[in-house]
Amino acid sequence: MAGDAEEFSPTLSPDGRWLAYGSDESGRSQVYVRPFPDAGRGRWQVSRTGGTEPLWSPAGDELFYRNASGDLVSVEVAPGSDFRVISERSLFSVRDYGTDTRNRAFSVAPDGKSFYFISALPGNPSQLVVVLNWFEELKAKAGR
């Protein structure tokens, strides 16, 4: 993967065979997939009307990304040694959630059925709260 194009948001499929990423090589951000680790063996453009923030489902049978319209898209991929898209569908609007076109700003639950997004409310600064040793703190508050 060389040239003047910017490539971003790499994500490896759960089986380690496919690398999905974003690139602006077409003049617009799109999502692509390449075989891994031999990335020179092929390249497939997955998004058709713009795409960012690719993420594989835990089972590796779907690839999610945000399209240019602000929707979360699911692309079902065929199992096997060749990469092939079976179907594509828009799941729901994600316009009201935080985004970073170069880094993924959402995640999928381990069961592949729920998503986690950062709510982006206008005028409210974002903050992240990290609690270390929360189980010990919980036990102390419960008196155990």
Q: Which domains does the chain carry?
A: 7-142 (2.130.10.10)
Q: Considering only residues 18 and 122, tell me which one the structure prediction assigns the higher pLDDT.
A: 18
Alpha-carbon span 36 to 82, nearest angstrom: 12
Task: Give just the sign of the alpha carbon dihedral 81, 85, 87, 90.
Answer: positive
Q: What is the pLDDT of residue 126?
A: 63
Place of tokens 């699911």: 74
97-142 pLDDT tens trace: 777 777 788 889 998 888 888 776 666 666 666 667 777 877 887 7
Q: What is the pLDDT of residue 1?
A: 46
Whether this model's pTM surpasses 0.85? no
H/E/C letters for each residue in the chain?
CCCCCCEEEEEECCCCCEEEEEECCCCCCEEEEEECCCHHHCCEECCCCCEEEEEECCCCCEEEEEECCCEEEEEEECCCCCCCEEEEEEEEECCCECCCCCCCCEEECCCCCCEEECECCCCCCCCCCCCCCHHHHHHHHHCC
| Cα angle for residues 122, 31, 118 (degrees, 5° grid) | 25
pLDDT at 2 over 60: no
Q: How far is CA 143 from the centre of its chain?
A: 41
Alpha-carbon span 107 to 103, nearest angstrom: 11
pLDDT at 20 over 90: yes
